[in-house]
Amino acid sequence: MKPKIILLLILLSSTTIVANDQQSILSGFIKFDAFYDTHPMVAAREGHYALYPDDGPDKAQLNFVTFQSRFRITSPTYDIPFGKVTGLIEADFFGTADGNENQLRLRHSFIKMYNDKATILFGQYWTPLFNIHVFPGTISFNTGVPFQPFARMPQIQAIYKISKTVSLLAALTMQRDAYQEIGGNEKQIDAGIPGIHLHGRFTSKTLFAGSGFYYKTISPDSDIILNSIVTTAYTKMTLGAMQLKAKWTYGEDLADHIMLGGYTAIADTILNTVRYENISSSNLWLDVSYKKSKVTYGLFFGRTNNLGMSTTVNDVELVEFFARGSSIKNINRISPRIQIQWEKLRLAYEFEMTSCDYFSDYKSNLIPSGTKNPVINYRNLFAVYLFF
């Protein structure tokens, strides 16, 4: 009963804000998803947020969900001495963990100050690796995961326009949508150092392109510091009714962005010492869409490769993984889609084929090898949206 009362108070206060200040905006959408899988998926929230097929036997699964429905409140814009300020708060019913479906969850919450040359954001928002200008247009809520970086992080973000076409983005971030099974944000909190992002971006009428890096520090154990680095490059081209988007991401310990990777603890049984090493991955995706009147067609392709670590393990060392998909060598996905929009109503269908290669053993640098066990899932997804 208590969560329902809290939600009711939030909705009532939202309505009051809109009524008392016409510049405030209440918006969002109601969404229904129906999906059918031919093979169980490694996934969250009753299979809705799907990553890749598990290594078990085939077993068909079906589910209907509505907890991706969301609402947001955008504040009025106010004048300040050096520009303007606005803010936004957004929530959905996705819950904060499995078993909490249909419970309220904070998605975004930030204050943004800006003028003609610069923007500064304080709050929880998309990680710069996600990039709001270049991300897959999939119907699936996974938005291209695990090929696409996906995380919302409390952060301080600054964008500075060097010219009409060139800008720089810098940010300090802390993990939020982290890999909780390996401690996630606790390991970064213990390190006492925020993640560092830096991107250079080019923008024109038909082209958006950029590249950047992410430097992260965690403390997997007391008095142990482990650094990792990620690089990325991305582009979006608009050619009339057609749009082409692509992104490449390479890096270490990408588990905090819902991708393959993490780190390992390697114990030397002779010297009685432990060292920590990052697990790396390479990720590429392409997304093409074409809009004709009320109908939009799209096609997504993604591939990720497990690159293991930069050092090797010898015969007297024991390995413990703190990583996602440590026995997976590569994952591939292709997913065509179609959506139809009538004013505020949208109907959408997507067919998603995801293949995953599991292996029984490892090379000395912990790249999976040995006996191959390929698995494939075919997902049919139907969605209905009503925007407001």
Domains, the chain, with CATH or none: 2-387 (2.40.160.10)
**What does pTM read for this prediction?**
0.91
CB 159 within 8 Å of CB 169: yes
Structure confidence at residue 271 (pLDDT): 95
Structure confidence at residue 180 (pLDDT): 65
Q: Which of 177-186, 307-316, 379-388 has the lowest mean pLDDT?
A: 177-186
Statement: residue 1 has pLDDT above 50: no
Residue range 249-278: mean pLDDT, rounded: 96
Residue 15: band (very low, low, confident or very high) from pLDDT cuts 50, 70, 90: very low
- In the chain, count H helices and then E strands: 2, 22
Residue 12: band (very low, low, confident or very high) from pLDDT cuts 50, 70, 90: very low
Higher pLDDT: 20 or 231? It is 231
CB 217 within 8 Å of CB 225: yes
Mean pLDDT rounded to a whole number for the chain: 93
Statement: residue 248 has pLDDT above 70: yes
3-state DSSP assignment of residue 335:
strand
Q: What six digits make up the tokens of 67? A: 């907890």
Q: How many CB atoms within 10 Å of residue 222? A: 6
Structure confidence at residue 4 (pLDDT): 46
pLDDT in tens, 180-199: 666 678 899 999 999 999 99
Residue range 253-281: mean pLDDT, rounded: 96
Structure confidence at residue 185 (pLDDT): 84
pLDDT in tens, 187-234: 999 999 999 999 999 999 999 999 999 999 999 998 899 999 999 999
∠ CA 336-31-353 to the nearest 5 degrees? Answer: 25
Statement: residue 16 has pLDDT above 50: no
Structure confidence at residue 176 (pLDDT): 84
